[in-house]
Amino acid sequence: MAGGIQGGGQQGAYPQQPAPKRRQGANGVLIWSMVGCGVIALLLVIFGAVVANRFVHNPGGKGFIGVMTSVTPAAQSVRTMGTSIESYQKDHDGKYPPTLEALIPKYVADKAALSCGSSEDPKPMEYSQPKPDASVEAVVVRVHIGDIVLPNQRQQMYICLLKSGDVVSEQVARTIMSKSEKTSPQSRPAK
């Protein structure tokens, strides 16, 4: 049989070859790669913990955390006050109350409702009775929820009720100019 089956294989098939031998050092590379990735991950975790610790103990970080935790409760209190003011307006021909105290006891339970936050750190609501021709953007109730102090800047954060009924957050930033700019050569009087 010419062109028949040779060596027990099929005609035209590739001859079987033995599997390649594994190199002895191949597992070591995988192990060291995994160890290296683990060390890098551990260093990133330690770095993150150090940065978070410094942020939390920094006055700016404390202010930021305090403000962020106060936003939602203050907004809810201001919304509730807005509902009380609307109820007063329905009973008084659309007029705003002269003060927030005028809402006690019919529209709000007591004087504690006129502030936000805990009893240890109450944040009083500031009220400005809007004029009839005031813009819908006029602030009616405002609560100072805290300050964020940065190296050269202080940001005062507020939650406000507008005449339109919208509750918004507001920031007032004050940047401190360096003293060297106040006494620059151009600002000194000529001799």
Q: What is the CA radius of gyration of the chain?
A: 36
Question: pLDDT of 89-119, one tens digit each?
Answer: 999 888 999 988 888 888 888 888 888 876 7
Could you report the per-residue pLDDT of 124-182, keeping only the tens digit for each?
889 989 988 889 899 999 998 888 777 777 788 898 999 998 999 888 877 777 665 55
Would you kindly state where each structural domain of the chain is located, as residue ranges? 56-175
Task: List, as one string, the DSSP characters of 104-145.
Answer: TTTTSSSGGGGEES-SSS-EEEEE----TT--TT-EEEEEEE
pLDDT in tens, 24-55: 555 666 777 777 788 888 888 887 777 777 66
